[in-house]
Amino acid sequence: METKEFKRQRRKNRIRGKISGTAKMPRLSVYRSNAHIYGQLIDDEKGVTICSICDKDFKDGTNVEKSTKAGKSIAELAQKSKIKKIVFDRNGYKYHGRIKAFADGAREGGLEF
């Protein structure tokens, strides 16, 4: 029997087969737990995380609002690292709700997908 997590993992593997991050155009990977959302910019060639963010820093607002703030915040960190363009890795999640809010926040912050 295929569980929800197994299906997400299979989608994640299919997506990751097509995209990877470089130093000039890193991969923005998003992880969504029940309570929080995490994002990190990854250079897959070197295997290093350039910068990361979590919505735990933002206390007020709904989960969607906190996700948008986290997206803007990772965009600011990327700007400091002189990064403009990224590859978005939704990590097997649907592009909906908190994932979409995170991506929209990153776009508002100045990142180009």
Cα(68)–Cα(55) distance, rounded to whole angstroms?
9
Predicted confidence at residue 23, as pLDDT, reads 87
**What is the pTM for the complete model shown?**
0.92
Distance CA 28, CA 33 (A): 16
Phi-psi region of 96 (alpha: psi -120 to 50; beta: other; left: phi over 0): beta
Which CA distances in Å does 38 have to 2, 51, 68? 26, 11, 12
Domain around 17 = 4-108
Distance CA 111, CA 33 (A): 24
**31-74 pLDDT tens trace:** 999 999 999 999 999 999 999 999 998 989 999 999 999 999 99
Chain segment 69-92, per-residue pLDDT in tens = 999 999 999 999 999 999 999 999
| Residue 74 covered by a domain | yes
Total domains in the chain come to 1
What CATH number is attached to the domain comprising 86?
3.30.420.100
Are 44 and 57 in contact, with CB atoms under 8 Å apart? no
Task: Band the pLDDT of 1: cuts 50, 70, 90.
Answer: confident
